[in-house]
A and B are shown apart, each in its own frame.
Chain A
Amino acid sequence: AQKVTQAQTEISVVEKEDVTLDCVYETRDTTYYLFWYKQPPSGELVFLIRRNSFDEQNEISGRYSWNFQKSTSSFNFTITASQVVDSAVYFCALSSPVGSTLGRLYFGRGTQLTVWP
């Protein structure tokens, strides 16, 4: 069974602080894909990144970085020098292949990040 755990329900930081959002996943599949989505107050889920299980290379995109470690089944997300606009709910999700395509997404419960000015 697929499962994603985001243990941090809420995090509050002051602007310019660095913050890391944790994601731990469970799957029996050897091939799988991990995702992060951002959900601002408007409600729309915004895609941030996808990673496949064979690519453990960390990724950096501007102030965002992701650390994927298969040994600990974790896919953590760090925001450097946080800004008020980063305030949102962040979801980690997992998907496994169904034949030659990807199946449904399994989401964690999300982490509400609040960045104070």
Chain B
Amino acid sequence: DTGVSQDPRHKITKRGQNVTFRCDPISEHNRLYWYRQTLGQGPEFLTYFQNEAQLEKSRLLSDRFSAERPKGSFSTLEIQRTEQGDSAMYLCASSFDRGREDTQYFGPGTRLTVL
């Protein structure tokens, strides 16, 4: 049973460029979450999906951010026109909806550096 995987693990880009990250959840998990973690802080919620439906978005998710989960399996997070303030670790988590018994399991993260 493989865990949550994320690709790439590291991304360095120049300000103004677009970047896209991918997350593959644990195979039977129907929920997928994105969080952002800056240095010295705890992860902050961005958005989550139940199957292919995006059910909640944080106000942290500005118009430059878009997330998709087209077939209810893997998900992508795109950041357009990156800014230096977007530099952070982007974490993906998945869970199986067992009502209130679901626990989120995290991937290794994608570390984004915007120059």
User: B-contacting residues of A (Cβ < 8 Å)?
Assistant: 4, 31, 33, 35, 37, 42-47, 50, 52, 91, 93, 97, 100-110
Which of A43, A100, A107 lies in contact with B100, CB distance below 8 A?
A100
Please name the residue on chain B nearest to A6 by beta carbon.
Answer: B42
| Complexed CA–CA distance, A43 and B4 (Å) | 13
Q: How far is the CB of B24 from chain A (nearest CB, A)?
A: 14
| Inter-chain contact B102/A107, CB cutoff 8 Å | no
Residues of B within 8 A of A37 (CB): 106
Q: With contacts A35-B103, A104-B56 known, what are 16 further pairs, Cβ within 8 A?
A: A33-B100, A47-B103, A47-B104, A91-B42, A91-B43, A97-B100, A101-B97, A101-B102, A102-B95, A102-B102, A104-B33, A107-B42, A107-B43, A108-B42, A110-B40, A110-B42
Which of B56, B93, B109 lies in contact with A43, CB distance below 8 A?
B109
Please name the residue on chain A nearest to B9 by beta carbon.
Answer: A43
Given contacts A45-B91, A100-B100, A101-B97, contact A109 B41 (CB under 8 A): yes
Residues of A within 8 A of B99 (CB): 100-101
Q: How far is the CB of A102 from chain B (nearest CB, A)?
A: 5
Please name the residue on chain A nearest to B50 by beta carbon.
Answer: A101
Given contacts A107-B43, A107-B44, contact A45 B106 (CB under 8 A): yes
User: B74 near A: Cβ within 8 Å?
Assistant: no
Top-7 shortest CB links A-B: A107-B42, A45-B106, A104-B45, A44-B108, A43-B109, A107-B43, A109-B42
Please name the residue on chain B nearest to A92 by beta carbon.
Answer: B42
Q: How far is the CB of A91 from chain B (nearest CB, A)?
A: 5
Which of B43, B100, B109 lies in contact with A105, CB distance below 8 A?
B43
Please name the residue on chain B nearest to A104 by beta carbon.
Answer: B45
User: B105 near A: Cβ within 8 Å?
Assistant: yes
Q: How far is the CB of A63 from chain B (nearest CB, A)?
A: 21
Residues of A within 8 A of B93 (CB): 45
User: B107 near A: Cβ within 8 Å?
Assistant: yes
Q: How far is the CB of A24 from chain B (nearest CB, A)?
A: 14
